[in-house]
Amino acid sequence: MLLLLFIVLGLSATIFITSWSSDTARLALNARTEDALAEAKEALVGRAASDDNRPGSLPCPDTNGDGVAESFVGNNCPAYIGRLPYKTLKTSDLRDSSGELLWYALSPSLRDHPSASPINSNTPATLNLDSIPSVAAIIIAPGSPLPGQNGRPSNQIGDYLDGSNADGDAKFASGPLTLAFNDKTIALTKTELFFAVSRRILGEIRGPDDQAPYFPNKGLRAYGTPFPWADGDNDGWADLNVTTGKLPYNALFLDVWLGINGWPALVNYTRLTANSVQISIGSSTLKVAPCPALPCL
């Protein structure tokens, strides 16, 4: 009986250790995929926020696997789903735990092309993930090939993506994981995208941090103090003694691309004092004070 007990205990320990090792390995693989998805999302946000003249825009997907965003055909991307253009985004060749490159779907309204302007926080995002609307981009880890996905390596969506993710429309799914679906996804929502972009825009409205040895030549800091009153009737001009309203952008020198994309009219403006104002777009807020000295910080 004692020997039998030792055998049972030994088998139980072996099963436990094997199961624990398997779970640990699975968690490590999942973490690799999740890290790649998160890094890709962060890179897209950074790219959108730093765009020279169309902040909020995103690159076309890569349709041939070279890591470079495709050039426009006319006014449109050749496709709005393909691999993540990691070279364009200046990341490594981000891969999931199965070793596959990440895929990427883009809302056409946010393509980086003049025909898409104006691009601002009112621009609709047209992708949908799990019936959640207003998604700007979706990044997809394709996982290992499933039965029927026999064409890898290729550039065909169906060889990598599963179910509704491969049917070419704007509706995507994150699961559930089954024998016929192993895609893992992460969404970049319009709200997330434009929260970051709005911070960039507010900085432009404020004016440069440092143009040493010169003072800022654009924005509120170039206007100087006393700062203008707010625009109370939405015509872009300051209205005497109005402290809260819209940005009086007609009184300011701003980069042309801000107006082309409709940003100035979206900025809320509060004149706190003659030497202090607060500007905001949605939940992004920035207080502005004059430059006390150079460098202007």
pLDDT tens for each residue of 113-138? 999 999 999 999 999 999 999 999 99
| 3-state secondary structure (DSSP) of residue 263 | coil
- pLDDT for the residue numbered 291: 80
Q: How confident is the model at residue 9 (pLDDT cuts 50, 70, 90)?
A: low
Q: What is the average per-residue pLDDT within 166-183?
A: 95
Q: How confident is the model at residue 292 (pLDDT cuts 50, 70, 90)?
A: confident
Q: What residue type is 234 in one-letter code?
A: N
- pLDDT for the residue numbered 215: 73
Q: What is the average per-residue pLDDT within 50-78?
A: 97
Instruction: Tell me the pTM.
Output: 0.87
pLDDT tens for each residue of 200-225? 999 999 987 655 556 788 999 999 89
Q: What residue type is 126 in one-letter code?
A: T
Task: Round to whole Å and give the CA distance between 94 and 44.
Answer: 13
Lowest model confidence (mean pLDDT) among 1-10, 30-39, 149-158, 233-242: 1-10
- pLDDT for the residue numbered 22: 45
- Sign of the torsion formed by the C-alpha atoms of 92, 97, 98 and 104: negative
- For 166, the token pair is 């491969």
- pLDDT for the residue numbered 214: 65
Percent of the chain at pLDDT > 90 equals 81
Q: What residue type is 235 in one-letter code?
A: D
Q: Which residue has the higher pLDDT, 12 or 279?
A: 279
Q: How confident is the model at residue 17 (pLDDT cuts 50, 70, 90)?
A: very low
CA angle centred on 238, ends 235 and 243, rounded to 5°: 115
- For 42, the token pair is 């962060």
**Closest by alpha carbon to 245, among 253, 235, 254, 255?**
235
- How many alpha carbons fall within 13 Å on the CB side of residue 108? 11
**Closest by alpha carbon to 144, among 186, 176, 172, 180?**
180
| 3-state secondary structure (DSSP) of residue 60 | coil
78 in Cβ contact with 64 (< 8 Å): no
Q: Mean pLDDT across the chain, nearest whole number?
A: 90
Q: What is the average per-residue pLDDT within 146-169?
A: 95
Q: Which residue has the higher pLDDT, 294 or 17?
A: 294
Sequence-distant (≥ 6) Cβ neighbours of residue 40 within 8 angstroms: 84, 86, 89, 91, 94, 102, 104, 139, 186
- pLDDT for the residue numbered 220: 94
- pLDDT for the residue numbered 25: 44
Burial classification of residue 14, based on how many CB atoms lie within 10 Å of its CB (0-12 exposed, 13-18 middle, 19 or more buried)? exposed
In this predicted structure, the answer to whether residue 55 has a pLDDT above a threshold of 60 is yes
Which H helix or E strand runs over 264?
none
pLDDT tens for each residue of 242-284? 999 999 999 999 999 999 999 999 999 999 999 999 999 999 9
Q: How confident is the model at residue 18 (pLDDT cuts 50, 70, 90)?
A: very low
The single residue listed with the structure tokens 């449109």 is 76
